[in-house]
Structure 1
Amino acid sequence: MSESRYNGPINPNPAEGESGIIIYGYVPSQELQVVALITYGLALLLHLSNLARLKGTRVFSLLLATCCAFEVIGYGCRLASHYRPFVVNFFIVQYFFIVVAPVTASAAFYLALGQALRRLDRGGRTFLRFNPKILIIVMIIADTVTTIIQIVGAALIGVAESARFRDNGDSPVTSDQANDILLAGLACQTASFLAFVILLGLCIWRSERTFTAHHLPRFFSLVLFAASMLLMLRTTYRLAEIAQGVFGPAYSSEALFGCLEYLPVILAVSAYGFVPLEKQLPIDVEAEAYDSGTSQRSLDMRQTTQEARTIDLRSAGNDSPQDGDLSPVDAESPRERAGYAFRERDEDEGVVSDESPSRAEKGQVDHDRLRN
C-alpha cells in the first residue's frame, strides 16, 4: 500500500497514543455521529422495553439491545474522534464495537428463525431438513471466529499506520498484511451469512408451497428476510471496502459509511423494536408437542392417525360399489362407511364408540334368543 493513497491531514509531532495520520482517512463528522447516537439510543430503549414486557422472546430482545448498546459506544468513540482524530485507541474501540454489533443482530435473526420453526410440525424439520438448533450453533460459532479475525486485523492496521510516522517505525506487520487479515475475516463472515440467507429463503419458499396450517406467517418471513438482506448489504459493503485496501475510495468515504454501514443496521434492528418478534411468530397449534413429557413417538403416531382419518374419509366419499360385485361392507352407504371408519379409528385410540364391547355383547345375546 503506497503512502500517496492517504490525502488527509498530517500530524507532524504525534503525542503518545496518537498516529501521524487519521486512520479513518477523514475526520468523522459530528452530524452523522449525533444522529446515530440518538437513533440507536431510542432503539435501545424499545428493545429494553420488549425485554421487560415479552417473556417468550427475551433472548432475542437481549441480543438486539446488546447490538444497539454496542453501536452507541462505537459511534460515541467516533464522535470523540471528531475532536481528536489522531488518537489510535478511539479508532480501535469504535471499530471493535461497530463490527461486533451486527454480529449480535445476526445471532438474533438465527434465533428468530429457529424459534419460528420449532413452533411448526415436527419442529420445522419439514422446511429445514435438520434440527434448527444446529443452524443456530454453527452460525454463531462462524460469526464469532470471523469477528475475532476482523478485530485483530483492524487493530494491526492501527498499529502499523501509527508506527509509520514514528522514529523507530517498528511494527509486527505491514498495513497490507493487516488488511489481508481483515479481508479474510470479512470474506468468511460474508460467506457464512450468505448461507443463512439462502437457507432462510428456502424455508420461506417451502412454507409458501405447503397446504397445511403449519407454515411460517408471511409477515414474519417478510420482516426477517428484509432485515437479513439489510445486514447482507452492510457485510458486502465492508468486504468491498477492505478489498480496495486501506485509504481506498470506499474506505475514505464517510458518505458510503453512513449509507451502507449505519443505515442498513439501524433499519434492521428498529423494525423489531416497533413490531416485536412475539407478535410475528406462528401460532403454536400443538403446544403439547413442546411439553417435556411428550415423546416424539407419540407425536408421530398421532400425526399418522390424523392422516389415516383423512384417507378413510376420502375413500368413503369417492369410491362407489360396482354392480354384481357387492360384499356386505361394499353394500353400505357412504355415510355408513364413513361412520365405520371413524368408529374403527376411535377404537384403535382407546375411545369408547357407539359399538363398544358392552353393547356388542348385548346384541349377540339378543340374536341367540331369537334363534332359540
Structure 2
Amino acid sequence: MAVLESHNGYYLWKYVPSVAAAGIFAALFAIAMFAHFWRVYTTKSKFCLAFAIGCFFEFVGYCARASAHNKTGKLMPYIFQNFFILVAPALFAASIYMTLGRIMRSVKGEKLSLVRVDRLTKTFVIGDIMSFLIQGGSAGLMFLSSTVDIGQAMVVGGLFIQIIMFGLFALTAVIFQMRLNRHTTTESFNPENPWRESLHMLYGVSGLIMIRSIFRVVEYLMGNDGYPLSHEWTLYIFDSVLMLLVTVIFYIRYPSKLQQAIGANENNGMISRSDDGKL
C-alpha cells in the first residue's frame, strides 16, 4: 500500500496521487494526442502543431503523476507532472491565437481587426510564450520549502499573463465579429468557409481555459496548505476534465478549412489581377 513520503524532510504531496485517475487521463490524452497529430498531418494545418504538442504534454504529465503513486518522496515524477500539466494549456492557446488570424484572413476582414492581423497574432503568441516560460521556470522551485513560495508566485504571475491575454483575445474576437456583422464581406458568405463555427469554437475553448487558469490562480494563492492543493479531486474537475473538453471541441471544429478558404481567396485575387491585365 502506497504511503506519503517526504523528500529531505519536505512533503512534495499533500496526498497520495491516484494511479487510476492519472492512468485514465493519460490514456484519454494519448488518444487526443494521436488524433490531433493525425489531423495536423492529413490537413497540413501546421499552425495546429502546438495544440497537438500540448496534448503530448498532458499525456506525459499524467503518466508522471501515475508513476508518483508509489514514489511520493521522489523528485522527478513530481517535477514532471507539475511542469507538463501546468504548461500544456499555453500550447493549446498558441494554436487558438493563430486560428483567429486565419479566420480574419479567410473572410478578408483584416481591416476590421483592432490591430493588424500579423501583429495581433505575434502579440498574443509572444504573451503566451512569456506565460509558458514563467510557469515552466517555476518547476525547479516547487520542491524546496525555502523556494516554494517563489515558485508559486511565478506560477501565479504566468497564469495572470495567460488570463489577461485571453481576456484581450476574447475582446478582439468579439469586436471583430460585431464589425463583420455590420460590414459583411463577400467571402463571409462562402458556405465552404466555416468561419462562424470556428469563431464559436474559439469562444468555447478560450472560456474553458480561462476557467482553468482562474482555478489555478486561486489554487496557488491559497498556498500549499490550501484546500485545492490538499485535495486531488479539484485538479481533475477544474483542470483535467476542462482541458480534455478543449481537445475534443477543437478536434470537432478543427480549423483546417480556414487555410483552404485563405488559399481560395488568394487564387481569386490572382485571377482578378490577371483579368485586369488583359483588359
TM bucket, shorter chain? 0.7 to 0.9
Unaligned runs of at least 5 residues, structure 2:
189-193
1:107 is aligned to 94
Q: Is residue 186–residue 239 contact of structure 1 (8 Å, CA) maintained in 2?
A: yes
Match of 2:157? 184
Letter in 2 for 1:288: N
Q: Which amino acid aligns with 1:210?
A: H
* Alignment check: 8 A CA contact 1:219 1:280 kept: no
* TM-score, normalised by the number of residues in structure 1: 0.65
Is the alpha carbon distance of 1:189 and 1:183 closer, same or farther for their aligned partners in structure 2, counting shifts above 3 Å? same
Asked if the contact 2:198/2:253 (under 8 Å) is kept, the reply is no
Distance in 2, matches of 1:226 and 1:259, equals: 17
1:328 corresponds in structure 2 to none
Question: How far does the alpha carbon of each residue in 1:72-117 deviate from its partner, in whole angstroms, 9 at most, with x for none?
Answer: 1110110011121121221111111112211111000011111121
Aligned in 2, Cα 1:197/1:49: closer, same or farther, shift over 3 Å? same
Partner of 1:357: none
Structure 2 SS opposite 1:26: coil
Report the structure, 1 or 2, having the larger helix content: 2
Matched, 1:131 2:116: yes
- Cα 1:63–1:21 change in 2 (3 A) is same
* Larger relative contact order, structure 1 or 2 (CA cutoff 8 Å, min sep 6): 2
After superposition, residues 162-241 of structure 1 pair within 5 angstroms as 173-215=146-188, 217-241=195-219
Structure 1 24/147 Cα, relative in aligned 2: closer, same or farther at 3 Å? farther
SS at match of 1:25: coil
What is aligned with 1:142? 127
Count of residues in correspondence between the two structures? 271
* Cα distance in 1, alignment partners of residues 13 and 179 from structure 2: 45
TM-score, normalized by length of structure 2? 0.85
Separation in 1 of the partners of 2:4 and 2:40? Answer: 47
Tell me how far apart the structure 1 counterparts of residues 151 and 87 of structure 2 sit (CA, whole Å): 18
Moved over 6 A (4+): 349-352
CA distance in 2, matches of 1:227, 1:236: 14
Give distance in 1, aligned partners of 2:199 and 2:116.
Answer: 19
Q: 1:10 to 1:350 in 2, by over 3 A?
A: closer
Aligned partners of 2:37 and 2:52 also within 8 Å: yes
Question: Do the aligned partners of residues 145 and 290 (structure 1) sit closer, same or farther apart at CA in structure 2, a change above 3 Å counting?
Answer: farther
Q: Is the 8 A contact 2:102 2:258 kept in 1?
A: no
Q: Which moved more, 1:147-156 or 1:130-139?
A: 147-156
Sequence identity (%): 23
Matched, 1:78 2:41: no
Q: For residue 20 of structure 1, what is the amino acid of its counterpart?
A: G
Report the secondary structure of 1:114's partner residue.
helix
Does residue 1:276 correspond to 2:254, yes or no? yes
- Find the residue that maps to 1:250 and give its secondary structure: helix
Distance 1:275 1:54 in 2: 13
- 1:286 matched residue in structure 2: 265
In structure 2, the residue matched to 1:365 is none
**Is contact 1:28–1:254 with CA below 8 Å preserved after alignment?**
yes
Equivalent AA in structure 2 for residue 49 of structure 1: W
Deviation at 1:281, TM superposition (A): 6.6
